[in-house]
Structure 1
Amino acid sequence: MHQSREAIKRQVLAAVEEHQSELINLCSELIQFPSENPPGDSGPINRMIHDYLSKNGMEAVWHEAGDKMWNLAAETGSEEGKTLVYCGHTDVVPAGDRTKWDFDPFSGEVKDGWMLGRGASDMKGGLAGILFAAALLNRLGIELPGKLVLAIVPDEETGGDLGVPWLLERGLVKGDGCLIAEPSTPLNPTLGQKGACWFELTVKGAPGHGSLAPLSGVNAITQMVQAIERLQSIWDIDVHIPEEVKPITAITKKYMADTKNYEEVVEHVTVNIGTIQGGTKSNVVPDQCTIEVDCRLPFGITPNDILQYVQQELNDLDLDYDLRPFGFQSIANFTSPEDPICQSVVNTIADVTGEEAYGVMQWASSDARHFRDYDIPVLQYGPAYLPTIHGFNERVKVEDIIRCAKVYALTAIDFLFESASE
C-alpha cells in the first residue's frame, strides 16, 4: 500500500532530524574548500560533492564549461511526471585580508550555534541543504512521481556565464520549476530581482608636469570627479513601475521597511562607484581615470536606458570619455506568486516554521534570471546571516541550515506529488 503524501513528509522530516549531524558536517566540509572566484577552480570541491552523492546512490555527471570550470548534474526520482531543479553554486567571493577575520575563513568551524567561514551564507549552507535533501530522498527510497535534478554550478559570483546559462543553452538542465538555494530571510523567499547595468567609464585628459597644474595638462581625475557627481543623479531618475508588478513591489517595500529600512531601493536605480584607477605618480598630471559602476534597475527601465542617460549627462560636461558596459546586464524579472513552485515553497516554509511566509523581490541579481529566460519558474530560498555576506566573519546559524534543508526535502515531495495529481 502506497504511503500518503503527508506520511512521506513525516518520514522525511524525521530523517532530516535524525541526520542533522551529517548535514552540518557536509556544510563544514564544503566551506573547507577555498573555492574563491576569482581565480576560480571548481575541480576539488566538485570531486568532494561527486563522492558524497555517489555514496548516496546518485551519479553526478561532469560538464566542462571552461578551464577549471566544471558543472555537476545529478538526479533522483522518476522520468515520468514533472521535473524540479535545485540549483546551487560552489564558488565564493575572495576572503580578502585574513587579518580582518576573527577566525580562519576556511575552517568550517561550528561555534556557539554558528557555522563559520567564507560561503557559510553565500551559499554553502544552502548548497549543503540541497545536496543533503536530494541524497536523503534517494537513500530513503522515496518514490517520487517526477524527477529532482541537482544543478551545481561554478561561477555565479563572476556573472555565471559558464554555469547556469551554459547548462540551459545546451539543454543539459530542464525543468518545470526551480529553487535556487541562495541566501534569503527565513520567511521570505525571493520571487524576483532587480535588473543590472554594470559599466566602465574612462575619462581622458592630457599629461603635464605636476608643478604647473592646473595650468599644464588636463587632469583626468578632477574631470572624473565631475563625472561621478553627475552619475549620482541616476538615483533620481523617475521610473514608472508597470501595473502588473506593482503588487509584488508594494509587498517588497513593506517587507524592506519592516526589516531593513531600505524600501526606497525597490523603485529606484541604485548606483555604486565600485572601483577607481587613475594617474601614475603625484607629480604627473593624470591623463586617464577609469571607474567601474554597478547600477541595479527596478521594473520599468533597461540597461540601455541607463547608458543613454549617462551619455547625456557626460556630454553636458564636454568630456573626452569612453563608456563600456560589462558584466551583469539584465532587466528586472520575476515569477508569479501563483506559480506551483512558488506556492510549494511558501506553503512548506509556513508548515516547517509555523509562521506566515510570503515571497518578495530581491534587490540584487543572481542566476534566477537565466532560468526565467528559458521559461522555467524559479525562486530563491536559503540560510543566511545577511549582514556578513561578502564581508569579513561570514557566518550562518546552524538552525537555519537545518530549517532550510527541511524545506528543500519537503518542497520536492509537495511539488512533484501535487504536479502528479493535476
Structure 2
Amino acid sequence: MTIDSSTQVHAWLEPRADEMADLLTALVAHETENPPGRGLRDCARALSDAMTGLGLGGEIIGVPAVDAQEDPCIVRATVGSGAKTLYFHGHFDVVPVQDREQFTARRADGKIIGRGTADMKGGIVSMLYGAAAAKDLGLLGDGKIVIHLVCDEETGSVAGSGYLRQHGLIAPAAVAMVTAEPSAGTIWHAARGAVSLRVTVHGRAAHVGQANLGINSFQHMVRIAAPLEKYVRTMMDKHTAFAMDGNDARGSMVVVGGLSGGGSNFNVVPGTSWFTIDSRFNPEEDLEVELKNLTTIIENAADSIGAEVTVELTQFQPSASTDQHHPAGQALAHCVSRVVGAQPPFEMCAGILDTRWYAQLDIPAFGYGAGRLDVSHGPNEYVDEQKMRAAAAVYALYAGEMLR
C-alpha cells in the first residue's frame, strides 16, 4: 500500500512544529528594518545556519548597497540536482516597527506575533521546511529547488532581485516561481506596478521679521499638490479586470504626501519643502504614460504660480501577471486543495510583488503564503502556526508536482 505524499509531508512537518516556531522567533529578533536596511548580514547568517541544519546548504552573496543599506546580501541555496528548476523566493527585510517590542516574538493561541511574522519571515520558515521535506521525502524527481532570499523587497528589490536578474542568476527555463507573501491562502497570480516620486519645491529662506524678502516654498508646495487630488480620484475609479479580495479597492491607488518636510525653523521662511507621491497602478495602466501625467500636473501647477520644482523618480516597477489557467498555476491550486481541502481563488495582489522579476523572463510566478496582508506592517502582525505548516506542505507538494 502506497502512502499518499500529502500524508507523508504532514507526518514530516508536524513533529517539527516547535522547531519552526523557534526559527521564526529567532528571525524576528533580527531587526532588519528597511528603510534604512540594517542588520541584514546578521539575519542572512542566521538563515544560512538554519538552512545548513536542514540539509539545504546555502551561500551568502554580498551585493552593492542602495541608499543607506548596511551590508546588503542575498541568501541562495540549491536543493537537488535535476534538470528542472523551481524557484522559492522570499525576503527577510521588514518595514519599520511601531514599537521596539515587536522584535520580541510571542507565541499565543496558536499564533506567533511580531514584526515580519506575516510579511514574510514566517513565509521563509514555511519555504525552508517545505524544501527540506521535499528533499527528505524524495519529491524532487528530475529537478531542484533554488531558494532566493533577498534583503530589500520593502524598498523595491533593486539590490537583491535586481542583482539576481543582472547577473543571470534567474534561469528563464525554470518551470515556476513561488514567493511566500502573505496571501492568506489565496494564490496571487498578478500584482500592480509602482511609480514613486519625490517632489522638491524651491523657495528662498528669510527671517520671519523680513518674510517679504523670502519665497515660501511650503505655500508653493500646497498649491502644487492640490491639483493631484483630481488625478487620485480619477485613477481610483479606473477598475481592474483582475479578481481581487473584497476588502481591496479595484482602482489604481495613489498616495500624495505619504512623507513630507521642509524648512529649518518655525521663525524662518522655508526655503525648501518636499513631498512624496507613491502609486500602485493596475496592470491595465501604462506606467510611462502615468509617470508623464503626474509630472505634467506638477510642472503645470508650478508654472502657474512661478515656482521652481524638481521631480525625482525614486521607484519605477512594472506590474506582473501569469494566466491563472497556466499549468503551473493549476498545479499550485491542486496542491493547495490537497492540503486545505478547498480550491483556492486566484486574485491580484493590491501591492507589488517580486514575481515581476521572474515573470519578465516568462517564468510563471505566483504569490502564496500563510500570512495575512491586513495585519502585515501593523502593530499586531502575526502568523497562524498551523497555517504556516500547511503552507510548508503546499510548497513541498508543489515541488513534487513541478519537478517529477
Q: TM-score, normalised by structure 2?
A: 0.89
Q: Deviations over 1:65-85 (max 9, x none)?
A: 1362221221223423x2110
1:73 corresponds in structure 2 to: 76
**1:191-340 map, 5 Å:** 191-211=189-209, 213=211, 215-237=212-234, 246=241, 249=242, 251-252=243-244, 255-256=245-246, 260=247, 262-263=248-249, 266-314=250-298, 315-316=300-301, 317-318=304-305, 319-326=307-314, 328-340=315-327
Q: Cα offset for 1:276? A: 0.7
Separation of aligned partners in 1, 2:330 and 2:205? 61
C-alpha distance after superposition, 1:333-369 (max 9, x if no partner): 2111022221122222222222231211111112111
- Residue 353 of structure 2 corresponds to 366
Distance in 2 separating the partners of 1:155 and 1:387: 21
The Cα offsets for residues 276-330 of structure 1, whole Å up to 9 and x where unpaired, read as: 111112222112111121011113333332332233323143332111111x212
Map Cα deviations across residues 186-212 of structure 1 (whole Å, 9 max, x no partner): 2x1211111111001111223333245
Partner Cα separation in structure 2 for residue 268 and residue 142 of structure 1: 41
1:35 to 2:38 alignment: no
**Aligned mates of 1:355, 1:271 — CA distance in 2:** 36
> What amino acid maps onto 2:166 in structure 1?
E
Q: Corresponding residue for 2:113?
A: 116
Q: Which residue of 1 aligns with 2:178?
A: 179
Structure 2: distance between partners of 1:97 and 1:61: 32
| Shift in CA distance, 46/311, structure 1 to aligned 2, threshold 3 Å | closer
Counterpart amino acid of residue 80 in structure 2: G
Matches within 5 A, 1:161-180: 161-174=158-171, 175-180=174-179
Q: Is the 8 A contact 1:121 1:384 kept in 2?
A: yes
Residue range with higher mean Cα deviation, 136-145 or 26-35: 136-145
One-letter amino acid of the structure 2 residue matched with residue 149 of structure 1:
V
For residue 350 of structure 1, what is the amino acid of its counterpart? S
Task: Supply the AA of the counterpart residue of 2:345.
Answer: Y
Distance 1:378 1:120 in 2: 22
| CA displacement 1:86-131 (0-9 Å, x = unmatched) | 0111111222443xxxxx2222221122201111111011000001
Is contact 1:127–1:181 with CA below 8 Å preserved after alignment?
A: yes
Report the Cα distance in structure 1 between the residues aligned to 2:231 and 2:358, rounded to whole angstroms: 29
Letter in 2 for 1:284: V
CA drift of 1:177 comes to: 0.6
Which consecutive unaligned segments of at least 5 residues does structure 2 have?
Answer: 66-70
Q: Distance in 1 between matches of 2:81 and 2:4?
A: 20
- Mapped to 2, the partners of 1:333 and 1:185 lie a distance apart of 20
Compared CA separation, residues 331 and 153, structure 1 to 2 (3 A) = closer
| Paired position in structure 2 for 1:420 | none
- Cα RMSD after superposing both structures: 2.4
- Distance (Å, rounded) in 2 between the aligned partners of 1:347 and 1:312: 47
Deviations 1:216-254 (A, max 9, x none): 432111111112221222223469989xx83xx2x22xx
Percent identity, aligned pairs only?
A: 28
Partners of 1:166 and 1:408 in 2: how far apart?
25
How has the CA–CA distance of structure 1 residues 283 and 240 changed in structure 2, closer, same or farther, with 3 Å as cutoff? closer
Q: Which amino acid aligns with 2:295?
A: Q
Offset, 1:180: 0.4
Classify 1:238/1:295 alpha carbon distance in 2 versus 1 (closer, same or farther; 3 Å): closer
Partner deviation per Cα, 1:143-196 (whole Å, 9 max, x = no partner): 52311111111221222112122112212232221000111122x121111111
Residue in 2 aligned with 1:44? 42
Decide whether aligned partners of structure 1 residues 65 and 347 sit closer, same or farther in structure 2, where only a CA change above 3 A counts: same
Mapping 1:342-361, distance limit 5 Å:
342-361=329-348
| CA distance in 2: counterparts of 1:275 and 1:156, whole angstroms | 19
Measured in 1, the distance between the counterparts of 2:91 and 2:160 equals 8
2:9 aligned partner: 12
TM-superposed CA distance for 1:415, in Å, is 2.1
Secondary structure of 1:66's aligned partner: coil
Q: Which residue of 1 aligns with 2:68?
A: none
Instruction: Find the aligned partners of 1:105 and 1:173 in 2 and give their Cα distance.
Output: 34
Taking the aligned partners of 1:344 and 1:283, their CA distance within structure 2 comes to: 64
* Stretch deviating more after TM superposition (398-407 or 196-205): 398-407
Match of 1:101 in 2: none
Inter-partner Cα distance in structure 2 for 1:52 and 1:288? 48
Matched-pair contact (CA < 8 Å) for 1:198–1:293: yes
CA distance in 2, matches of 1:240, 1:280: 39
- Give the 3 Å change call, closer, same or farther, for CA 7–356 of structure 1 in structure 2: closer
The answer as to 2:96 corresponding to 1:94 is yes
C-alpha distance in structure 2 between counterparts of 1:241 and 1:203, whole Å: 30
Shift in alpha-carbon separation, 1:206–1:134, aligned structure 2, 3 A: same
